[in-house]
Amino acid sequence: MDGYGPSTYGDRFASVYDEWYGADPDTATCVDTLAELAAGRPVLELGVGTGRLAIPLAGRGLAVTGVDASAAMLAALAAKPGGERVRAVEADMGGPLPHGPWGLVVVARNTLFNLADEHRQRACLAEVARRLAPGGALVVEAFVPDGSRQRSSVEVRAVEADRVVLFVDRHDPETQQAWSSFVELTPAGTSFRPCHLRYATPEQLDEMAGAAGLVRTARWSGWDRGHFGEESPAHVSVYGLESASHQQDRP
């Protein structure tokens, strides 16, 4: 996607992110589950955004660092009550990460797929493995790719007297790349909120994590730790260091 870089998604969505996606009924359960997995240890969130998870986690007394490529997202985080408790780092999560060691690394809401090619996803997982504390956990929340998804579609998301929002989506099932944009039309002009993803199946994610030295310890259908099955549209997967699991196996 021409003109699209690591900060584009965040820069274009920052002004509407909390309004459009802030009121998620799963957030409280998600924070509970993450706090339990962190068990008092330092937390790193990749693609921290406006701090939907990081701010309440920091509010529970955890030391939380959030990486985001978008200065606009980090500015929105800093402006919120409690935002000052989160250490914000403006960086591409496909590159070097803050050193840690981290007891918990979180990549929520499909954000790993924002690294829009397989090579960058593998590099990120390898970097997480380097930065995890022994016994630490990586948690990834992601959708399960839908085999029946159309190669291209346009959905009408809002129709008002002076405003129309369209969701335009295209994907290539061979490369698993998806390009989408929310197109907002108003008398003042047109705005585009684009997103470029490389999606992966849960099995592909396990393989990439394994190659990075991570082993899956749990997979749930959501943050309430429900059963994950063939019909689940999304998953929450927990990984630990393979070397730590070998140590645990030893008598």
User: Applying CB under 6 A, which residues contact ligand SAM?
Assistant: 6, 9-10, 47-49, 52-53, 67-70, 73, 92-94, 108-109, 111, 114-115
Q: Choose among 151, 145, 92, 149: nearest CA to 121.
A: 92
For residue 139, the minimal CB distance to ligand SAM (Å) is 11
Residue number, nearest CB to ligand SAM: 10
Answer positive or negative: Cα dihedral of 54, 55, 61, 64.
positive
For residue 244, the minimal CB distance to ligand SAM (Å) is 25
For residue 68, the minimal CB distance to ligand SAM (Å) is 5
Q: Which is nearer to ligand SAM, 139 or 244 (CB)?
A: 139
Distance, C-alpha 217 to centroid of its chain = 19
For residue 52, the minimal CB distance to ligand SAM (Å) is 4
The span from the first CA to the last CA of the chain, in angstroms, equals 52
Q: Which is nearer to ligand SAM, 9 or 182 (CB)?
A: 9
Q: Choose among 132, 126, 133: nearest CA to 112.
A: 126
For residue 108, the minimal CB distance to ligand SAM (Å) is 4
Q: Which is nearer to ligand SAM, 88 or 165 (CB)?
A: 88
In eight-state DSSP terms, residue 44 is E
Q: Bridge-partner residues for 241, per DSSP?
A: 214
**Rounded-to-integer distance, Cα 214 and Cα 136, Å:** 11
Q: Which is nearer to ligand SAM, 192 or 243 (CB)?
A: 192
Q: Which is nearer to ligand SAM, 86 or 244 (CB)?
A: 86
Q: Bridge-partner residues for 154, per DSSP?
A: 168
